[in-house]
Amino acid sequence: MEFTLEELENKASSIKPMEFTQETLRKTLGEHGLEKVAEDLARTYEKGNEDFFTYETLLDGTAPILKLAPDEVGKPRSFEDILVMFSNTRDFKGSGTSAFATGIKEKAVPAIGMGAGAFKGAQAGARLAAIIPPIGPAPILAKGALILGGGLLGGIFGDTLFRKADDAVFGEDAPVAPSLKGAYNAGETLAYGGSMLWAPYRLPAKEGFFGATRFLDNFQRARNPNFVGPIQLSSKMLKRAQSAKKPDSKSGEIYETLFTGQKARFKPDPTKGPVNARILASLEKGIVKAGESARANPLITAAIEGLAVAGASGSNLVSDKLFPDSDVARLGLK
């Protein structure tokens, strides 16, 4: 049966596409597969429209409604084409560049919220951590957890808040065709990574935020035979500091040395303080030095961080090809 162009346009405009969210489409495709979803959609919409299209005529390219795209008349439609035709799924006319740019644009606002939230959350965590005296390894770990946890929770809160605001103003983002999901995710990662490029320049300028360095200084003070007190150490740590002895070189045990012999084993020097506190102190010093280096070399830091973000962004394309729709693979490659 032959139809005029006007009849075909009227029929196409009368078809209300199936509405998916990004999550519902992902779940549907994960449970049923692209082929099954495409067939179910076509079977649903072909009822009463058999003269215009059927699932079979779409697949072989002979459906009359396809004449609305003169350049593609007679071209067989793929399962993904059918999904896009009957739903709000976007294919950006097959352009990976457009999908990439859209990912950046649509995630820019939530990414800004995440970056700002992480910064403010870490600041709030640091203020709370300052209340806890570094009298032992456990309080030091608690201080670190407050700072890192504050940044993490602040980032999540900022992302969620700005995302909801963005959805309220511009509407929820429509899903993306499976073949372009990698490009879209690459843009998304670039937006989020870019929102954190400030981080190296805002690292602490002084040691002491964990309290590990101060704790070790107090540990050494307590070892002084002339020590009187008071001192910021727990009674357990004070006793440990005052009872710690230098290793006996005749004991055959190797301290502060890697494995060197058949019976040699590593033992930390007890006079230097608990190993976990020493590790945290090294981390504390390393973070301060990293911040100093970033502020002293802003362009080099920006270039290195930019390359890291670009690499994480590009990894989405690789994971999408090798492990489609796998969050574990995406995270691992990033």
**Among 19, 322, 298, 320, which residue's Cα sits nearest to residue 186?**
320
User: Is residue 47 packed enough to be buried (19+ CB in 10 Å), middle (13-18) or exposed (0-12)?
Assistant: exposed
Please state the pTM of the whole predicted model: 0.80
pLDDT of residue 48: 86
pLDDT, tens digit (0-9, with 9 covering 90-100), for 72-128: 777 899 999 999 999 999 999 889 999 999 999 999 999 999 999 999 999 999 999
CA distance 312 to 307: 9
DSSP, res 272: G
Q: Which helix (H) or strand (E) holds 13?
A: helix 5-14
The pLDDT value given to residue 259 = 47
Report the Cα–Cα distance between both ends of the chain, in Å, rounded: 53
pLDDT at 111: 96
pLDDT for the residue 69: 81
Distances (CA, A) of 94 to 157, 184, 232: 34, 12, 65
CA distance 134 to 232: 7
What length is written for the chain? 334
Per-residue pLDDT, 296: 96
Q: Please, how many CA atoms are within 13 Å of residue 230, restricted to the half-sphere of its CB?
A: 4
Which distant-in-sequence residues (6+ apart) come within 8 Å of 159 by Cβ?
Answer: 110, 111, 113, 114, 117
pLDDT by position in tens, the chain (length 334): 677 777 778 888 888 999 999 999 999 999 999 999 999 999 999 998 888 889 999 999 988 888 888 777 778 999 999 999 999 999 998 899 999 999 999 999 999 999 999 999 999 999 999 999 999 999 999 999 999 999 999 999 999 999 999 999 988 999 999 999 999 999 999 999 999 999 999 999 888 888 999 999 999 999 888 887 788 899 999 999 988 877 665 554 545 554 445 555 566 778 888 988 999 999 999 999 999 999 999 999 999 999 999 999 999 888 877 777 777 777 787 7
3 state DSSP class of 19: coil
